[in-house]
Amino acid sequence: MNRFYINAAPAALLLGVLLGYCSSAGAFDLNGAWASDADNCGKVFTRKGNQITFTDMSDVYGGGFIVEGDQITGKFARCRIKAKQDEGTTINLLAACASDIMLQSVQFNLREVDANTVMRLFPGMSGMEIKYARCPAP
């Protein structure tokens, strides 16, 4: 398996978990499906019954994550938000993530752009960020 997926999967999952945890009153609501390219939402996510899941080839179209409460689900990992701190438009999250091969604690920093857009920030890496857009329900 590609090493990038092994390292990125827990991080993507943690991001989703952290985002879901932020749905308390007055906080930014992260619940939903989030894609790195809003134009590809239908290629990243699908609905199976009443559950949103990833398509088989979702990672080809940029990938994303799904937030449901304190759970963040990525294509290759699942996270549970353990701690959250809001600092203005910045949300700091700490999540416990699990993939098929490892358990890991992951820290995420997100900046709210608008109600349907967040940026994942990478402290210590100036200018490095990933934009995620909330997708409409498939």
pLDDT (tens digit, 9 = 90+) per residue, 39-88?
A: 999 999 999 998 999 999 998 998 899 999 999 999 989 999 999 898 88
CA-CA distance, 92 to 101, in Å (whole number)? 26
Asked if residue 24 has pLDDT above 70, the reply is: no
Q: What is the pTM of this model?
A: 0.76
Q: Is 80 helix (H, G, I), strand (E, B) or coil?
A: strand
* Residue 5: predicted pLDDT: 40
Whether the CB-CB separation of 45 and 52 falls below 8 Å is answered with yes
What mean pLDDT is predicted for residues 33-43?
95
Asked if residue 4 has pLDDT above 80, the reply is: no
Where b means 16+ CB within 10 Å and e means fewer, 64-102 reads bbbbbebbbbbbbbbbbbbebeeeeeebbbbbbbebeee
CA-CA distance, 116 to 113, in Å (whole number)? 8
Compute the 3-state secondary structure of the chain and give helix, strand, coil in percent, each to the nearest 5. 20, 45, 30
* Residue 108: predicted pLDDT: 83
pLDDT tens sequence across 92-112:
989 999 988 889 998 888 999
Spell out the domains of the chain, with CATH numbers in brackets: 32-134 (2.40.128)
* Residue 19: predicted pLDDT: 42
* Residue 6: predicted pLDDT: 43
* Residue 127: predicted pLDDT: 83
Q: Is 13 helix (H, G, I), strand (E, B) or coil?
A: helix
Asked if residue 12 has pLDDT above 50, the reply is: no
